Structure 1
């Protein structure tokens, strides 16, 4: 497990890639975001996208999966109180290959729960051309290996 003490401010990790398929785009859209531009090329033709495009929520789900499965060992995550500044910068299309860049921007031991630390991450999801397609900031509650230590 990767604990609070194993993460350093300014540490950058890159996870992926994963290829986005048309089948996955349509399946996700049917289940969770059934807008016409997420369901078919025909439905997207006269829209901003011009062709089938992945839901931003699909992109977010793929990002989360890469962040949780891309490490050599699992993060000792205790959940998250939320995220800020979610932005979808560019459309994601079938055939795109997404990677996720995760930067530790800050961290501190919880005052009320010393068995965990709060780790701030900057997240950037990039396509195969290294263009940012989505970004957000989040805070994760991460277990400490030794709650009695003074490791900050």
Structure 2
């Protein structure tokens, strides 16, 4: 497992890509979680900014999370996260797109109240096959330490 001690500011992990995103997957996610017309059909997207069927931003976030958790040779010793900041959806995700994630360690520190864990700050960018950033955010992950002080 990858622990707190294994992460250093400046470390970069490139994860992915996903399988090509299908219309069926976009619609299934949207029907369940984000049933806006432009996420449900080409016709619903035709007269919008998207022009054709587009994945929900939350679908993009879920695919990003999957890559963050499964895209490494070893899993992270994750203990969760207190949240994220500056979530931005920069460009739509369409049928056929393949997403990759670049995760950069920006800072880290040992938890003052729970010395068995460290807090690792990441900048996360999700990109499509054309290297266009489709989503970005900053997050803090709580990672187990091998030694608690």
Smaller-chain TM-score range? over 0.9
Match of 2:41 in 1: 40
Match of 1:12 in 2: 12
* Partner Cα separation in structure 1 for residue 52 and residue 28 of structure 2: 16
Match of 1:2 in 2: 2
Match of 1:103 in 2: 104
Q: Gaps spanning 5+ residues in structure 1: where? A: none
- 1:27 aligned onto 2:28: yes
Deviations 1:81-130 (A, max 9, x none): 00000000000001011000000000000111100000000000000011
Q: Gaps spanning 5+ residues in structure 2: where? A: none
How far is the alpha carbon of 1:21 from its aligned partner?
1.1
RMSD: 0.5
1:2-151 superposed matches below 5 A: 2-18=2-18, 19-148=20-149
Deviations 1:41-96 (A, max 9, x none): 01111111111000000000000000000011110000000000000000000101
* Partner Cα separation in structure 2 for residue 104 and residue 17 of structure 1: 20
How far is the alpha carbon of 1:14 from its aligned partner?
0.5
Instruction: Tell me the SS of whatever aligns to 2:86.
Output: strand
Q: Which runs of 4+ in 1 moved over 6 A?
A: none
* Partner Cα separation in structure 2 for residue 28 and residue 97 of structure 1: 17
* Partner Cα separation in structure 2 for residue 77 and residue 104 of structure 1: 15
Instruction: Tell me the SS of whatever aligns to 2:99.
Output: strand
Normalised to the residue count of structure 2, the TM-score between the two structures is: 0.98
How far is the alpha carbon of 1:15 from its aligned partner?
0.5
Instruction: Tell me the SS of whatever aligns to 2:142.
Output: strand
